[in-house]
Structure 1
Amino acid sequence: MPHTPMPPQNRANAKSMRKVMTDAELRLWNELRAHRLMGLGFRRQFPIAGYIVDFACPEKKLIVEVDGSQHGDADLAAADAFRTKRLEEDDWTVLRFWNEDVIRDIDNVCQHIVVTAGLAEPTE
Structure 2
Amino acid sequence: MAVQLLKPGGVLVYSTCTITLAENEEQVAWALRTFPCLQLQHQEPHVGGEGMMGAGLSLEQLKQLQRFDPSVVRSQNTDMDSLRDARIEDMVWLANKDCIGFFIAKFIKCKSTQEKDP
Q: Same fold (TM over 0.5)?
A: no
TM-score by length of 1: 0.26
Structure with greater proportional helix content: 1
Which has the higher Rg, Structure 1 or Structure 2? 2
Higher relative contact order (CA 8 A, sep 6+): 2
